[in-house]
Structure 1
Amino acid sequence: MKILNKIKKSIFPKSLSENATTSFVLEKTGNQIYTGPFAGLAIPDILKPNLKLAEALGLYEYALHGCFSNLINKNIENIMVIGGHKGYYPAGLSNLLRPNNMYVFEMDLNFQPLIDSWIEVNNLKPYQTFGEASEEILLNWTERIDFLLIDCEGAEDFLLQPQKFNWQKETDILVEIHHFYNNKILGNLVTRFKDTHDLLIIYDDISENEKIHNVLEGLGIEGSFRGQPNHRWILDENNNKIITAGIFLYMSVKNT
């Protein structure tokens, strides 16, 4: 055991910044997501400098893993993601569920190369990509959507209106609730969807960082990745970072 410990100390660095730790982990895992429902997904070179450690390990938003596990028991042929960001979820869901169609909306065009970069390296079916998810697009949407994922920094109140966008009544939905922008949003969505969907409120798993720490410890790395996840924050009116907690609403169409 003492010999093994000496070997570990000689191979693995003791303490690193998050970016350096992510690079180190990717080197040891073959540049693939390490665990979780998206395990084995190859990480494009363009994303390596921008990837969160939790994403590389497959532990990002760990509280949602149960939702993604439930989806494998459903016939998910068409997925819409509103808020594509760096493409982590479009790629992960595409690789896990192999839908016929993946529709990705992202307002910030700077993210588009990042979203697309996952496709070739993982041999995924190309997405259909859009800019803003406008009222006109959602009103005139005719394709069935089996699963809708939304992370849009406060726009969820506008985007989720089943009385206006009728197709949402037959769509399973997972949405991050940004209650710090609108403290009535959770109640609004519950009222709108409770007759057509089974609803589940999901809170950030406060042990997510502890799980990250345990993996790093197994690699002989000491890091400051303990406690509640700290990757959630907003800017207040004075441009100060305000730490927030993650709250999600999973809405599954009721069986009739």
Structure 2
Amino acid sequence: MVLEKIGNQIYTGPFAGLIIPDILKPILKLSETLGLYESVLHRNFSDLINKNIENIMIIGGYKEYYPAGLSNLLRPKNMYVFEMDKNFQPYIEAWISINDLIPYQTFGEAKEEILLNWENKIDFLLIDCEGAEDFLLQPDKFRWQKETDILVEIHHFYDNKILGNLVSRFSDTHHLTIIYDEIAENEKIQNILDGLGIKGTFRGQPTHRWIFDENKNKIITSGIFVYMSLKDKQ
């Protein structure tokens, strides 16, 4: 019913108008469909419009929501997507074909050898890799990161030192901003459903933020993101 009401496209936010492929319709979260997924990041994505973002790297493509949304918003020349699970490859093709996006260059795991030898310029790097942030973000090792705007979701349940590590590694070259989860995300969703005339109540803590602990128990977490924007060179 929601998809019919909103015309089978992302309803609001920076990715509004992005057509949802049939293969994604059964698995997209309501927050994604309505364009409110991780809405605290919308301002950061909107700010990218004013930068010359031609080359984007995303590590952790998953359902390709962000690669598709950022491709549609910014129309970069190059989109590089790392995703370890090959089962998500059909989602990439589906978003691209129906929205006339540029073809992505896709990779599997973001291994050290690849990142060490990376030669192409990256204007914006987005990372969501469930605890691998400390390995992936090493500007003294992966030197190209010193010239890149970066947005990363950190998982302090895995590593309680990760935020301090990023501050020490990037504070010389970047302005760092900590972004906290939007606790009113569900309220926004409910308001849109009410406006669309869809009856019912949307309840519950957003369930798209979770990890597994060492005993394989599922833990709901509070999202914390760090946006690292390049400092102007003197």
**Alignment equivalent of 2:62, drawn from 85, 88, 99:** 85
Q: Is the 8 A contact 1:87 1:116 kept in 2?
A: no
Output the CA distance in 1 between the equivalents of 2:82 and 2:50: 25
Amino acid at match of 1:208: E
**Alignment equivalent of 1:127, drawn from 104, 116, 120:** 104
Q: Residues 223, 151 of structure 1: CA spacing in aligned structure 2 closer, same or farther, 3 A cutoff?
A: farther
SS in 2 for 1:72: helix
Which residue number in structure 2 is paired with residue 157 of structure 1? 134
Amino acid at match of 2:105: Q
Matched positions, count: 233
Amino acid at match of 2:185: E
SS in 1 for 2:50: coil
Q: Please list the CA deviations of residues 93-151 of structure 1 after superposition, one character each: whole Å capped at 9, or x if unmatched.
A: 00000000000000111111112210000000100000011100000000000000000
Amino acid at match of 1:140: N
Output the CA distance in 2 between the equivalents of 1:107 and 1:230: 22
Amino acid at match of 2:181: D
Amino acid at match of 1:87: E
Q: Residues 132, 28 of structure 1: CA spacing in aligned structure 2 closer, same or farther, 3 A cutoff?
A: same
Which residue number in structure 1 is paired with residue 34 of structure 2? 57
SS in 2 for 1:152: coil
Q: After the TM superposition, which segments of 4 or more aligned residues of structure 1 sit over 4 Å from their partners?
A: none
Deviation of residue 226 (structure 1)? 4.4
- Does residue 178 (structure 1) correspond to residue 155 (structure 2)? The answer is yes
Which residue number in structure 2 is paired with residue 97 of structure 1? 74
- Does residue 140 (structure 1) correspond to residue 109 (structure 2)? The answer is no
Deviation of residue 239 (structure 1)? 3.3
Q: Which runs of 5+ in 2 are unaligned?
A: none
TM-score, length-normalised on structure 2? 0.96
Deviation of residue 234 (structure 1)? 1.7
Output the CA distance in 1 between the equivalents of 2:10 and 2:39: 13
TM-score, length-normalised on structure 1? 0.88
Q: Is the 8 A contact 2:5 2:196 kept in 1?
A: no
- Does residue 27 (structure 1) correspond to residue 42 (structure 2)? The answer is no
Q: Which runs of 5+ in 1 are unaligned?
A: 1-23
Amino acid at match of 1:199: L
Q: Is the 8 A contact 1:82 1:149 kept in 2?
A: yes
Output the CA distance in 2 between the equivalents of 1:40 and 1:159: 32
SS in 2 for 1:252: strand
Which residue number in structure 1 is paired with residue 192 of structure 2? 215
Amino acid at match of 2:28: L
Percent identity (aligned): 79
1:6-17 correspondence runs (5 A): none
Output the CA distance in 2 between the equivalents of 1:99 and 1:194: 27
Structure (1 or 2) with the larger CA radius of gyration: 1
Which residue number in structure 2 is paired with residue 243 of structure 1? 220
Output the CA distance in 2 between the equivalents of 1:221 and 1:89: 27
**Alignment equivalent of 1:203, drawn from 174, 177, 180:** 180
